[in-house]
Amino acid sequence: MSADAELIEIPVANGQIAVLDTGQPEAVAPEPPIVLLHGGALDHRMWRPQIELLRGMRRVIAPDARGHGQSSTPTAPFRHDIDLIGVLDGLGVAQAVVVGLSMGASIGVDLAIAHPERVAGLIVVGAGVSSPTFTDPWVLDVFTESAKAAQAGDGGAWLEQYLRFVTGPRRTADEVVPAVLTAVREMMTDTLRNHVPDGEPVLPSWLPDAADRIGEIGVPVLAIAGGADADDHLRMPAELVAGVADGRMVTIPGTAHYPNLERPEQFNSELLRFLATTD
């Protein structure tokens, strides 16, 4: 599938968001579309196994967040959830089931709290609220070393640090399917090449007090985590589902931060099971 050929551009404040929109399949009863939100430094291509599964069943909308993929590089303060509202409005979508991984999960949580009428159900993968507290020494080491690389302007060293999230703290790269590492490396390399400015980057702001407001989420929430992911990335989705009225968590063994890429069949099974409960 050449997903890139299907991208359209939706204007938002001070920029544009590139979006893959498969459209509503013919002869299928209209149901809320599925919005797929990628992780940080990646883009919509990380969802290819899920797009292939869903495109004949539901309308699938997979945007590139601002500063990622083919969307514009931030030039002014912004919030990802507000950008997403602009995308939904631009596509005429009143409500959707939102699936987000890592950064995308935090965007989905912000959306479900700040704009509850737009969310029919929420799946978070490997993350929770948009103001996380990290305590795992392994995660803190990745952040420390990647920050040093960024300060030194060493994109290659930064990339190697962030690729550690593919393997997680409990495995080596030899235990990961090479195609998964290659795909993540390609997307992160494109982010570095196309969206890292010479000066200080414009970073997103997030919904204030989201961690204190998760009890406001009134839709079903499924949390998915990789069994080989870092302790923080197992803890945060568990905390989220514990704080909502209708929450459930699933762990996919033998995967780290990208279970949708490492074990797409099992991930897709959980995705379809969740969708059946929101129809």
Over 50: is that where the pLDDT of 103 sits? yes
> Is 157 found in the same domain as 28?
no
**Same domain as 226, residue 166:** no
CATH for 245: 3.40.50.1820
Same domain, 40 and 95: yes
Q: Do residues 95 and 232 both lie within one domain? A: yes
pLDDT tens readout for residues 168-188: 999 999 999 999 999 999 999
pLDDT of residue 199: 74
pLDDT in tens, 13-28: 999 999 999 998 876 6
Residue 147 shares a structural domain with residue 220: no
CB-count exposure of residue 133 (10 Å: 0-12, 13-18, 19+) = exposed
Confidence band (pLDDT; 50, 70, 90) for 2?
A: very low
- 195, 220, 235 — which closes off a domain? 195
Q: Is the dihedral of CA 138, 142, 148, 154 positive or negative?
A: positive
Read off the pTM: 0.96
| Same domain? 119 vs 236 | yes
What total of structural domains would you count in the chain?
Answer: 2
Contacts of 70 (CB under 8 A, 6+ apart): 4, 7, 18, 43, 64
Q: Kindly report the average pLDDT of the chain as a whole number.
A: 94
Among 157, 180, 195, identify where a domain stops.
Answer: 195
State which H helix or E strand residue 225 sits in: strand 221-226
Residues 265, 142 within the same domain? no
87 and 189 part of one domain? no
- 113 and 40 within one domain: yes
Residues whose CB is less than 8 angstroms from the CB of residue 66 and which lie 6 or more positions away in sequence, other chains included: 12, 15, 17, 72, 73, 74, 78, 80, 83, 204
Instruction: Judge if 108 and 236 occupy the same domain.
Output: yes
Nearest to 268 by CA among 52, 89, 101: 52
For residues 221 and 113, membership in a common domain is answered with: yes
Q: What integer pLDDT is reported at residue 27 of this predicted model?
A: 62
Reply yes or no on whether the pLDDT at 167 is more than 80: yes
Which domain, by its residues, includes 186?
Answer: 138-195
pLDDT tens, 53-92?
998 899 999 999 999 999 999 999 999 999 999 999 999 9
pLDDT of residue 230 exceeding 60: yes
Distant-in-sequence, close-in-space partners of 74: CB < 8 Å, separation ≥ 6? 14, 15, 66, 67, 201, 202, 203, 204
Least confident of 12-16, 44-48, 275-279: 275-279
CA separation (Å) from 49 to 59, 150, 193, 196?
A: 15, 31, 25, 28
**Domain endpoint, select from 195, 220, 238:** 195
Q: Are residues 212 and 103 in the same domain?
A: yes
